[in-house]
Structure 1
């Protein structure tokens, strides 16, 4: 019995430490927050669907298959992201919502890669265009696969991969600057900064009420900037 005492004492010590340093329990979004989340990206979905015909018509007018393909991929990625997000936040907390969350987070990878596509295929082209296209879509496939298989369990890993993909463009910034006007680059950078600023709210939405809704607003701002860049310079 005396030999078991140290173990019992260690257990009590561990319990005491845990009591002083409790792990924060995940906070579920309230009904009001989820309504705001779903409605905001429902508006984003509607805007994407309205904008898509204009984007594709602009690309078709150029008569270039690369611009048409890029515009179509970008448009589909917008619809996928906003549609998945709207449905996920509209569902009650059940198994279907868990599945929808994986699709929602996976769609973020698709939107990032889809945003690159008009610029890699239609603007950069050549070795730089195809290299960046392959890198971004390779990371997107890996990210979506890991998300769907539920292999990325820590949110910071997802966030880090999103940011890595989003700013991977810096490796091709010189050829991109030589291939499109400064105004186009300004729209691209502004959109990237909007997404990056929104990540602060995305990462802290468990602590800040309506933080996730604010993240949605930044996402919509970023998409709007990138839509302008694609429509004016890559479609």
Structure 2
């Protein structure tokens, strides 16, 4: 066999090895079908963060100085938990879907809807616990209106126009960010920008299924990093620092 034939055989062998970890890209208007390895990675990369999200929301509640801060802590904590819980549930059902086609479809829609409310919940503490410009106050309820409209779009046009759907997510993420820039107090804006950049970089992998093995799991990692950065910003700049235990427990340490 000539050198060209050997190189072709080696390339083919390399493709065969990758086929274990990645399927071919889907046709238009069809969803990508992950391999078993990718399914496992998709589940694990978000399941690991369900409990930390619940503890993170509780930590903000313990640090809250008034009822409004406590309410925002639960809204934000619920959004975090919902994102990772629903994503894990969907990917688990999708992995074991032999007779759960309808349930899988519903959870896929629920997963996409949850992203809209996660964006709204992430912004909620910043829009309600910080002073905003007079023209920006309306964003406090507009962000939830955008989440509701996005949910209706998912219900009626799920998976039909993928790029349009991605555009809607991007618009919803950017509009409140522009409002936050009007805050007189700019503490935490840098961390919010870094978190937003991590989400944006992750979108590259979100759109790379069938081109890069474990692309969706890598997207999950970027989501986790972005969420962690935004959580740090919220904890550090909107709530009292260094309160890791409930007040009732901290009293035990006081003389």
Equivalent positions of 1:57-136 (< 5 A) are 57-59=62-64, 62-63=65-66, 65-91=67-93, 92-93=96-97, 94-125=101-132, 127-128=134-135, 130-136=137-143
**Kept after mapping to 1: 8 A contact 2:86/2:110:** yes
Gaps of 5+ in 1: 1-21
- Equivalent of 2:178 in 168, 171, 180: 171
Equivalent positions of 1:83-232 (< 5 A) are 83-91=85-93, 92-93=96-97, 94-125=101-132, 127-128=134-135, 130-151=137-158, 153-176=160-183, 178-181=184-187, 184-232=188-236
| Counterparts of 2:227 and 2:135, CA distance in 1 | 24
Instruction: Tell me the equivalent position of 2:10.
Output: none
Q: CA RMSD in A?
A: 2.0
TM-score of the superposed pair, with normalisation by structure 1: 0.81
SS in 2 for 1:175: coil
TM-score of the superposed pair, with normalisation by structure 2: 0.75
Q: Report how far residue 213 of structure 1 moved.
A: 0.2
SS in 1 for 2:112: helix
1:179/1:66 Cα in 2 relative to 1: closer, same or farther (>3 Å)?
A: farther
**Kept after mapping to 2: 8 A contact 1:41/1:82:** yes
1:144-168 alpha-carbon deviations (Å, 9 max, x no partner): 1221344562221121111111111
More helix by share: 1
| Counterparts of 1:37 and 1:170, CA distance in 2 | 29
Instruction: Tell me the equivalent position of 2:18.
Output: none
1:185/1:89 Cα in 2 relative to 1: closer, same or farther (>3 Å)?
A: same
| Counterparts of 1:129 and 1:118, CA distance in 2 | 14
1:59-90 alpha-carbon deviations (Å, 9 max, x no partner): 2xx12x33222221111111111110000000
Number of aligned pairs? Answer: 208
